[in-house]
Structure 1
Amino acid sequence: MTEDRTRILVADDHTLLREALCELLGAEPDFEVVAQTGDAKAALQQAALLDPDVALLDIQMPYNEDPVATVRQLLLRRPGMRIIILSMDDHPLLVRSLLALGVHGYLHKSVSRATLVAAIRERADSGRRVVTVSMAPGELRPQGPRSTPVQRLSEREAEVLTLVSTALSNRQIGARLGITEGTVKRHLRKTFDKLGAVSRLDAVNKAVDLSLIRAQPARRTPLAS
């Protein structure tokens, strides 16, 4: 159903990349690309007109001499919209400035499809802002607080988190395991607390690093409605 989908605005001045990105996102059953544009002015106009849930924004576009100002305007016009930066520019000062403004993700363009999809699906069940950061190798990589010591995950928590690593939504995970979406969220909250994680991607990365789960390749088979 359309009302259950995450509505996405894609803004990137590289036409081939933008179109490929829109095609990739459109293949996800719970995503809907409502607009795509190649410059910052059009992105502001489309955000105001269409009120998307998520803006996927390349900060290196025409009419975008000041990326921080562009993001600030987007947030002022649509405070409830989540902004995810997708860029080749990983300068630590720029990353910190944009995160401080309130963006929900800063992803280098080398990230995998699974990482991008997981960042777009990210929600903060507790009401706090969840931030996903994935930088190029060797760059600054902010991390959330860790629990000390890290508690072992239950069998079900590890099972849920393994499916999260394949970029499945909570609803898809619930259907696959025969449990409710609310139960999936409860398992994830407990997992976040045990790992000191601030997002789904952060939880997966920490669990893999600690050998608590083995990351799986992303799945693309949509569930029947």
Structure 2
Amino acid sequence: MNSRATSAEISVVLVDDHALFREGLREILESAGGISVAGEAGDSATAVRVVAETRPDVVLLDVEIPGDEVTETVGRIRELSPHSGIIILSMYDGPHLLTRLLSAGIRGYLLKSVHRHELISAVRSVHEEPSRLVLAVSRSSLARVEAPSAGVLSEKELEVLQLAAQALSNNQIARRLGLAEATVKRHMRNIFVKLNAASRIDAVNKALAASLIPPQSRGGED
């Protein structure tokens, strides 16, 4: 692990389970000037620990590292180092995964086929422009993210939304389905993103309009 970056440098943590790929990333970034690799990890648990120790400006995170599901890893990193901009690196160009990751709070999504100058530019942009998203994906995936399809709701999300349509609280839904309340909240966040909904009522109305869930009478329970 290299020494910490100077205050003038952008500090980066590399997370990928292939050491050779991390070595290539390190060479590309450090040869660009003004960027320093503060740490590396090959699995989710180590990634969370290294980020907590180094508090980097940017985290380059492979989408398929061993350990926790990638959205869980993103959530843990954001809790421990809120200022770190997370850029996902992936071989997969799919709108469903991209939507979930954007909902989790990533700042960028790059296919591993990008050129070195695109990678360097993404790291600098995420660091220098906190409100900017950097996406290097196909035009079709981006279009489907910008206009999410109601048909991408999972079976569990449909169950959650059906109970939400009955005006049940997250706690009541959790008890009904045998889930943790935090899991229900995560399902609701995903539903909002997929349906482009601003609230529970908006999500229910859009699902009803698309005939995703049957009409329900509203009312409390328990």
The TM-score bracket by the shorter chain reads: 0.5 to 0.7
Task: Letter of the 2:21 partner, please give it.
Answer: L
Q: Quote the residue 2:25 is aligned against.
A: 21
Provide, for residues 113-155 of structure 1, a one-character-per-residue CA deviation record: whole Å limited to 9, x for no partner: 1111111001587x762001011x4641259x9xxxxxxxxxx
Q: Quote the residue 2:142 is aligned against.
A: 141
Give 5+ residue unaligned stretches, structure 1.
Answer: 146-225
The structure with more helix, counted as a fraction of residues: 2
Task: Letter of the 2:119 partner, please give it.
Answer: L
Establish whether residue 111 from structure 1 lines up as the match of residue 114 from structure 2: yes
Task: Name the Cα RMSD after superposition.
Answer: 2.2
Q: Supply the distance in 2 between the matched residues of 1:47 and 1:128 (Cα, whole angstroms).
A: 18
TM-score, length of structure 1 as denominator length: 0.58
Contact 1:82–1:104 at 8 Å: present in 2 too?
Answer: yes
Q: Quote the residue 1:61 is aligned against.
A: 65
The change in CA–CA distance for 1:128 and 1:7 in structure 2 (over 3 A counts) is closer
Contact 1:25–1:31 at 8 Å: present in 2 too?
Answer: yes
Pick one of 81, 91, 96 that aligns with 1:93: 96
TM-score, length of structure 2 as denominator length: 0.59
Contact 1:89–1:108 at 8 Å: present in 2 too?
Answer: yes
Q: Quote the residue 1:77 is aligned against.
A: 80
Say which one has the larger Rg.
2
Provide, for residues 30-80 of structure 1, a one-character-per-residue CA deviation record: whole Å limited to 9, x for no partner: 00001111111100000001111100000201113x111110111111111
Identical aligned residues as a percent: 33
Task: Letter of the 2:132 partner, please give it.
Answer: V
Contact 1:6–1:54 at 8 Å: present in 2 too?
Answer: yes
Could you list the runs of 4 or more consecutive aligned residues of structure 1 that deviate by over 2 angstroms after TM superposition?
A: none
Count residues in correspondence: 141
